[in-house]
Amino acid sequence: MKRFIKSVGFALNGIRILLKNERHFKIHLIAFLFVIILGLFLNINRIEWLVLFITSALVMTLEAINSALEKLCDHVTPTQNESIKKVKDIAAGAVLIAALFAFVIGCIIFIPALYKLC
């Protein structure tokens, strides 16, 4: 049990580092808070909440992995390196792909709900 609690502490420290130092993670978190507020305002259904939470978790998790990978790459090769650049660009591209799909999913869920209000 002590090992588990220690592991949770390490994970929470990682989240604290993300919140303190990673601008893009903060942007994704603010977007997620906006999604929650909009979902509450529009009274979306349980399945829509589930889809939004899974999608948001994917984006924020990929952003965290991207940040960790960038830190590792910078540690391994502090100077400019074309191979490292490709790795970092691919990781950033993965976050962008997830964020674009999340945006489309948000539109699919929220646009019809907003249209009903008008």
CATH code, 99: 1.10.287.3610
Residue 8 lies inside a defined structural domain of this protein: no
63 is catalytic: yes
The per-residue pLDDT for range 58-72, each reduced to its tens digit, is 999 999 999 999 999
Task: Compute the distance between CA of residue 110 and CA of residue 40 in angstroms, rounded to an integer.
Answer: 11
Q: Indicate the pTM of the whole model.
A: 0.90
Q: What is the pLDDT, as a whole number, of residue 85? A: 95
Residue 1 lies inside a defined structural domain of this protein: no
- Calculate helix-pair angle for 82-117, 46-76, nearest 10 degrees: 160
The per-residue pLDDT for range 6-20, each reduced to its tens digit, is 999 999 999 999 999
Please pick, among 22, 48, 63, 70, the residue that the annotation labels catalytic: 63
Give how many domains the chain has, as a whole number.
Answer: 1
Q: Which domain holds residue 69?
A: 23-117
Q: Are 73 and 88 in contact (CB under 8 A)?
A: yes
